[in-house]
Amino acid sequence: MSTLAASVTEICAAARAAGRALAQVDAGTKDRALAAVAEALVERTPEILEANARDLEAGRADDLGAALLDRLALDEGRVAAIGAGVRAVAALPDPVGEVVDGRRLPNGLSLRRIRVPLGVVAVVYEARPNVTVDAAALAVKSGNAIVLRGSRSAAQSNAVLTRIVAEAATGAGLPARAVSLVAGGGREELADLATQDRFVDLIIPRGGEGLKAALSAVATVPVIYAASGNCHVYVDASADPDSAERIVVNAKVQRPGVCNAAETLLVHRDAAPDVLPRVLGALRERGVQLRVDGRAKAAAGEALAGTLLDATEEDWDTEYLALVLAVRVVDSVQEAVEHVNAHGSGHSEAILTEDLAAARAFQLGVDAACVYVNASTRFTDGFEFGMGAEIGNSTQKLHARGPIGLRELCTYKYLVEGDGTARG
């Protein structure tokens, strides 16, 4: 076995031991540890920003691009927000030991089903140093040890953040190695981590389709894919134009490099003449490149025609993570649903409408973790959903779907009590 493989194995084995101890730690101790983490993040902000500056310098040299650099960047405000997120997680009810259901059986046995930690969770993520802290806080609160594996582009930031979290948590009474970082080994290291089924109970990847493919090819550990977000906004025939402009611009522009940003705009043919000129004009003013079908180009008007690109079939399947939007005109809510189901990634989809029947048809017809009516897709977020934070957004259906928070990091066990009871 290579030195690298032994190193990953040792980290995961230590996390397994820490996880078993952490599962028995009381809620008060975990909350005090999280409070210590939040305080340490604020106190050591200069150290964090210094490390982040080195990552940003390397990222610019590597031509990471504006969207990825934005995801990578930290400042005092963002560090303060990360600390506030830790405090928000600490304030949530502890899911460990929560009774899911219980009853007395006809044979006299008392049966309870309670939530328990999964054990050891590994999170693999790209260029998002805030995930280091969000994931660690959720793991600690739910009684899980965590193994973090960030990207090379955020190596300095992740190392400092993990050290701060681990030191503060251990100093407050949590087991050593409850929070660990695996770093520096490239694809070989990823494969080593993905095959630690002896010690790791779940891997959650946060990244694009490339990361998903790399893991699915080798993983023996169960995986919840928090993968791509090819999200749509559909403007129905009855949509209010003012609301449509506001929501579409928000869904695309507010933070284009994240998985809940809109990548495709669908517009009903009856709404297109009124909606498209103003919405596309507002998007162009904000620097959005528009890739449109023939009917959308015709409805956009002469003033915009020269700024529009012709959409290709590939555009409907692309998660841009940038100021680029595909636009198509459809004939009905059913056609919009069919387009979303054919091209979407199962993340977040929205309909803008004043027609209750259309809203209901979209809600029932679209196959996605989150379906919105008259709201931006940008709300798909653990913090916005009252979960304090999230480890990722699951686009699959088993165990967890949508934002992955505290309860999604738990499984359950049955506690069965008798009184000398033997089966007849």
Phi first, then psi: give them for residue 180, nearest 5 degrees: -135, 155
Measured CA distances, 48 to 43, 82, 126, 314 (Å): 10, 12, 18, 40
What is the average pLDDT score of the chain? Answer: 93
User: Which residue range(s) make up the domain with 210?
Assistant: 3-226+391-417
Q: Do residues 132 and 179 share a domain? A: yes
| Band of residue 184 on the pLDDT scale cut at 50, 70, 90 | low
pLDDT tens for each residue of 244-298: 999 999 999 999 988 899 999 999 999 999 999 999 999 999 999 999 999 999 9
Q: Do residues 194 and 175 share a domain? A: yes
Angle, CA 359 vertex, CA 347 and CA 385 arms, to 5°: 45
Specify if 264 maps to a domain: yes
Closest CA to 409 of 399, 397, 417: 399
Instruction: Tell me the pairing of strands 410-417 and 110-117.
Output: antiparallel
Sign of CA dihedral 39, 42, 44, 49: positive
> Rounded to an integer, what distance in angstroms lies between the CA atom of residue 254 and that of residue 261?
8
pLDDT of residue 227: 62
Specify if 83 maps to a domain: yes
Q: Do residues 168 and 245 share a domain? A: no
State the CB neighbour count (10 A cutoff) for residue 337. Answer: 24
Specify if 385 maps to a domain: no
Question: Does residue 283 contact residue 264 with C-beta atoms inside 8 Å?
Answer: no
What are 351's two structure tokens?
Answer: 């309909």
Specify if 134 maps to a domain: yes
Strand partners, 406: none
DSSP class per residue in 289-300: EEEE-HHHHHHH
State the CB neighbour count (10 A cutoff) for residue 262. Answer: 28
Specify if 116 maps to a domain: yes
Q: Do residues 186 and 252 share a domain? A: no
| Band of residue 169 on the pLDDT scale cut at 50, 70, 90 | very high
Q: Is the confidence at residue 423, as pLDDT, over 80?
A: yes
CATH number of the domain residue 264 falls in: 3.40.309.10
Phi-psi region of 343 (alpha: psi -120 to 50; beta: other; left: phi over 0): alpha
Phi first, then psi: give them for residue 110, nearest 5 degrees: -100, 125
| Band of residue 348 on the pLDDT scale cut at 50, 70, 90 | very high
pLDDT of residue 210: 80
Lowest mean pLDDT among 52-66, 329-343, 365-379, 394-408: 394-408
Q: Do residues 222 and 261 share a domain? A: no
Q: What is the mean pLDDT of residues 319-341?
A: 97
Task: State how many domains the chain has.
Answer: 2
**Distance between start and end Cα atoms, the chain:** 52
> Rounded to an integer, what distance in angstroms lies between the CA atom of residue 69 and that of residue 256?
12
| Band of residue 3 on the pLDDT scale cut at 50, 70, 90 | very low
CATH number of the domain residue 118 falls in: 3.40.605.10
> Rounded to an integer, what distance in angstroms lies between the CA atom of residue 98 and that of residue 23?
13
Q: Do residues 210 and 345 share a domain? A: no
pLDDT tens for each residue of 141-166: 999 999 999 989 999 999 999 999 99
Closest CA to 73 of 157, 198, 187, 160: 157
What are 366's two structure tokens?
Answer: 């679209």
Q: Do residues 221 and 278 share a domain? A: no
pLDDT tens for each residue of 24-73: 999 999 999 999 999 999 999 999 999 999 999 999 999 988 878 888 99
Q: Which of the 8 DSSP states describes residue 108?
A: S
What are 118's two structure tokens?
Answer: 């999964």
> Rounded to an integer, what distance in angstroms lies between the CA atom of residue 111 and that of residue 415?
6
Specify if 214 maps to a domain: yes
- The whole-angstrom distance between residue 384's C-alpha and the CA centroid of its chain comes to 12
> Rounded to an integer, what distance in angstroms lies between the CA atom of residue 205 and that of residue 46?
29
Q: Do residues 158 and 270 share a domain? A: no
Phi first, then psi: give them for residue 317, nearest 5 degrees: -105, 10
3-class DSSP state for residue 83? helix
Helix (H) or strand (E) holding 190: helix 186-194
> Rounded to an integer, what distance in angstroms lies between the CA atom of residue 233 and that of residue 252?
9
Q: What is the mean pLDDT of residues 355-359?
A: 97
pTM, two decimals, is: 0.83
Measured CA distances, 57 to 51, 61, 125, 269 (Å): 10, 6, 20, 47
Q: Is the confidence at residue 383, as pLDDT, over 90?
A: no
Q: Do residues 214 and 107 share a domain? A: yes
Specify if 189 maps to a domain: yes
pLDDT-above-90 percentage for the chain: 80
Look up tokens 């809510």; give the residue.
333
Question: Does residue 337 contact residue 365 with C-beta atoms inside 8 Å?
Answer: yes
Q: Do residues 214 and 87 share a domain? A: yes
pLDDT tens for each residue of 209-257: 788 888 888 999 999 987 678 999 999 999 999 999 999 999 999 999 8
Question: Does residue 218 contact residue 195 with C-beta atoms inside 8 Å?
Answer: yes
Q: Do residues 219 and 241 share a domain? A: no
pLDDT of residue 186: 73
Q: Do residues 191 and 82 share a domain? A: yes
Closest CA to 406 of 89, 153, 146, 148: 89
| Band of residue 185 on the pLDDT scale cut at 50, 70, 90 | low
Strand partners, 233: 265, 350
Specify if 386 maps to a domain: no
Question: Does residue 179 contact residue 169 with C-beta atoms inside 8 Å?
Answer: yes
